[in-house]
A and B are shown apart, each in its own frame.
Chain A
Amino acid sequence: MKEPSTVENAVEFWRWQEYQRIMPGKSWKSKDLITAGVDVGSVGSKAAIMVNGEAYSWGIIRTGSNSPESATKALDYALKGTGLKISDLKYIVGTGYGRVNVPMANKAITEIACHAKGANYIWGPSVRTVLDVGGQDIKAIRIDETGRVVSFLMNDKCAAGTGRGMEVFADLLKIPIEDIGGISLKVDQEPPPVSCTCVAFAKTEAMGLLRKGWSKEKVLAAYTRAMAVRMANLINRVGLEKELVITGGQSKNIGIVSRIEVVLGVKCLPMPNWRDNGLDPMVAGALGAALFGKALYEKAQKS
């Protein structure tokens, strides 16, 4: 288990790791078509740089209270050490919850379209169903072989069962957020799901279960199971068609992913090895946005 980061001795178990990646072996030349996608989410801000439509670098930071500032910081982070400047970017697309607040963007595009395109880029043309589990909402998207959206369910009732909910549980149980998925699987038998995924109610219910003598693992398993059931319902609403993939921060939560697979009876396409230079499903929206940037730039050149 990693040592959680500390600030003034207060351990912030919810705090997930910000990072930047430059794809090894890739470079850019001044005549290349370089585009960027900036995805400002409710919890994380992601920026991706593409060179001729290929992922080159990206940066992921926590979204602050100010969307334009978070967009700028994420883009600066993605550009760090690449030798590129914002003026080298031919086209910038803003997306996500805060997309209208991306100051340097040439255009804002809904995150549904960008996640669909990004999932198609990461996993290829066999993807038909994308579940995006973000910080404050969940989206189920059906796509065709080109990554085009065919059908989607945008929103469920509230922020229940999202990344933010997991952050609350990490704090409640004092478990680092990145370990939560694995720990939720350390139960001999899967307990019944908590009755309500509402963050506030689930927290109260969880505290009751802990007092009753349930282990942290069991409580987490019950909450994660409830989240997975809720996500599966959403997918069933738009219709499940293989292949299924999960994007967004919770794609990294093995407890969620494996339970969705059990509830739906379908395996997701394997998660790229993002820790070791694979593409990161958390940047799917930003990658899709950068790809749209390339297409829009080329379209503008032709006309």
Chain B
Amino acid sequence: MLMITHYGYTDGSGEYYITIDTDKCNGCGKCVKQCPQSALQLETMFIDLEDKTAASITEEHRKKIKYTCSSCKPESNQSPCVLACELKAIKCTWKSQ
């Protein structure tokens, strides 16, 4: 079943979001290894009375994602995490004004 998690924020300078489809994500952790900023982690989520391991953005980076992720050129949606995911579970939405 579908569950989409959004991490990021909109501020005066634009929109910055990393979106993870936890239904597609199988918790393989390839994106975690590829992230040059160590901003990704595997987290236990509770879905349909089961614990499921899926990728998420670490607490530390959630509030500064605009800076953390900028060097990976997320506006192209071709950052290392996106490319590492064979299941296409990660998407970047980056719109700076």
List residues of chain A with CB under 8 Å of any chain B CB: 109-110, 113, 148-158, 233, 237-238, 292, 295-296, 299
Across the interface, B9 reaches (CB within 8 A) one of A110, A113, A157, namely: A157
Do B46 and A292 touch across chains, with their CB atoms under 8 A apart? yes
Q: Secondary structure at chain A's binding surface: helix, strand, loop or mixed?
A: mixed
Do A154 and B49 touch across chains, with their CB atoms under 8 A apart? no
In this complex, the interface size class of chain B, counting residues with CB under 8 Å from chain A, is: 10 to 19
Interface string of B41-58 (1 = CB under 8 A from A): 000011111000000000
* CA gap between A153 and B65 in the complex, in Å: 14
Identify the closest chain A residue to B59 (Cβ): A155
Do A113 and B46 touch across chains, with their CB atoms under 8 A apart? yes
Across the interface, A238 reaches (CB within 8 A) one of B6, B47, B48, namely: B6
Do B4 and A154 touch across chains, with their CB atoms under 8 A apart? no
Do A237 and B3 touch across chains, with their CB atoms under 8 A apart? no
Closest 10 CB pairs of A and B: A151-B4, A153-B6, A157-B9, A109-B46, A155-B62, A156-B9, A113-B46, A157-B63, A149-B3, A295-B49
Identify the closest chain B residue to A230 (Cβ): B10
| Nearest chain B CB to A286 CB, angstrom units | 15
For A155, list chain B residues within 8 Å (CB).
Answer: 7, 9, 62-63
For A110, list chain B residues within 8 Å (CB).
Answer: 45-46
Is B94 in contact with chain A by the CB < 8 A criterion? no
For A299, list chain B residues within 8 Å (CB).
Answer: 49
Across the interface, B3 reaches (CB within 8 A) one of A151, A233, A292, namely: A151
Do A296 and B49 touch across chains, with their CB atoms under 8 A apart? yes
From known contacts A148-B1, A148-B48, infer whether A157 and B6 are also in contact, taking CB-CB under 8 Å: no
Instruction: With A148-B48, A152-B4 given, name 7 new contacts (CB 8 A).
Output: A148-B1, A149-B3, A151-B5, A151-B6, A156-B63, A157-B9, A237-B17
* CA gap between A296 and B1 in the complex, in Å: 19
From known contacts A149-B3, A151-B3, A157-B63, infer whether A233 and B49 are also in contact, taking CB-CB under 8 Å: no
For A233, list chain B residues within 8 Å (CB).
Answer: 10
Identify the closest chain A residue to B6 (Cβ): A153
* CA gap between A61 and B75 in the complex, in Å: 44
